[in-house]
Amino acid sequence: MSRSEPPARTVRVRTVVAVVLAVLALTFVFQNTGSKSIRFLFWSTSMPAWIWLLVVFVAGVVAGSLFPWFRRRARR
Protein backbone atom coordinates (compact mmCIF):
# COMPACT_ATOMS: atom_id res chain seq x y z
CA MET A 1 0.00 0.00 0.00
CA SER A 2 1.19 3.49 -0.72
CA ARG A 3 1.03 6.13 1.93
CA SER A 4 -0.21 9.55 1.03
CA GLU A 5 0.57 12.75 2.83
CA PRO A 6 -2.03 14.27 5.14
CA PRO A 7 -4.37 16.70 3.34
CA ALA A 8 -2.95 19.67 5.27
CA ARG A 9 0.51 19.16 3.75
CA THR A 10 -0.43 18.72 0.11
CA VAL A 11 -0.18 21.73 -2.17
CA ARG A 12 -2.41 21.94 -5.20
CA VAL A 13 -0.99 22.95 -8.54
CA ARG A 14 -3.73 25.57 -8.75
CA THR A 15 -2.48 27.19 -5.55
CA VAL A 16 1.11 27.30 -6.78
CA VAL A 17 0.04 28.82 -10.11
CA ALA A 18 -2.10 31.42 -8.30
CA VAL A 19 0.79 32.42 -6.02
CA VAL A 20 3.23 32.68 -8.95
CA LEU A 21 0.78 34.83 -10.93
CA ALA A 22 0.15 37.05 -7.92
CA VAL A 23 3.89 37.57 -7.38
CA LEU A 24 4.39 38.38 -11.08
CA ALA A 25 1.46 40.81 -11.06
CA LEU A 26 2.69 42.56 -7.93
CA THR A 27 6.22 42.76 -9.36
CA PHE A 28 4.80 44.42 -12.47
CA VAL A 29 2.75 46.82 -10.35
CA PHE A 30 5.66 47.96 -8.18
CA GLN A 31 8.01 48.42 -11.12
CA ASN A 32 5.64 50.97 -12.70
CA THR A 33 5.84 53.89 -10.32
CA GLY A 34 5.48 56.87 -12.67
CA SER A 35 2.49 59.20 -12.36
CA LYS A 36 -0.41 58.61 -14.76
CA SER A 37 -3.59 60.52 -15.50
CA ILE A 38 -6.83 58.56 -15.80
CA ARG A 39 -10.01 59.88 -17.38
CA PHE A 40 -13.31 58.01 -17.13
CA LEU A 41 -16.49 59.67 -18.39
CA PHE A 42 -16.48 63.04 -16.59
CA TRP A 43 -13.99 62.04 -13.90
CA SER A 44 -10.26 62.72 -14.17
CA THR A 45 -7.45 62.21 -11.69
CA SER A 46 -3.72 61.61 -11.55
CA MET A 47 -1.92 59.10 -9.32
CA PRO A 48 1.16 56.89 -9.42
CA ALA A 49 0.74 54.06 -11.93
CA TRP A 50 1.33 51.38 -9.31
CA ILE A 51 -1.80 52.47 -7.43
CA TRP A 52 -3.92 52.17 -10.59
CA LEU A 53 -2.45 48.78 -11.40
CA LEU A 54 -2.98 47.56 -7.86
CA VAL A 55 -6.61 48.74 -7.96
CA VAL A 56 -7.20 46.86 -11.22
CA PHE A 57 -5.52 43.74 -9.80
CA VAL A 58 -7.67 43.83 -6.65
CA ALA A 59 -10.80 44.44 -8.74
CA GLY A 60 -9.95 41.33 -10.77
CA VAL A 61 -9.52 39.23 -7.64
CA VAL A 62 -12.83 40.51 -6.24
CA ALA A 63 -14.64 39.91 -9.54
CA GLY A 64 -13.22 36.40 -9.70
CA SER A 65 -14.52 35.60 -6.23
CA LEU A 66 -17.93 37.20 -6.80
CA PHE A 67 -18.69 35.19 -9.92
CA PRO A 68 -17.99 31.55 -9.04
CA TRP A 69 -20.31 30.26 -11.77
CA PHE A 70 -17.56 31.00 -14.31
CA ARG A 71 -15.46 28.27 -12.73
CA ARG A 72 -15.76 24.74 -13.99
CA ARG A 73 -17.92 22.61 -11.72
CA ALA A 74 -16.44 19.36 -10.43
CA ARG A 75 -17.89 16.21 -11.95
CA ARG A 76 -19.34 13.74 -9.50
pTM above 0.85, yes or no: no
What confidence tens digit (pLDDT) does each residue in 31-62 have? 877 887 878 788 888 888 878 777 887 888 88
Q: What is the pLDDT of residue 69?
A: 67
> Mean pLDDT of all residues in the chain?
77
End-to-end CA distance of the chain: 26
Rounded Cα distance between 72 and 17, Å, is: 17
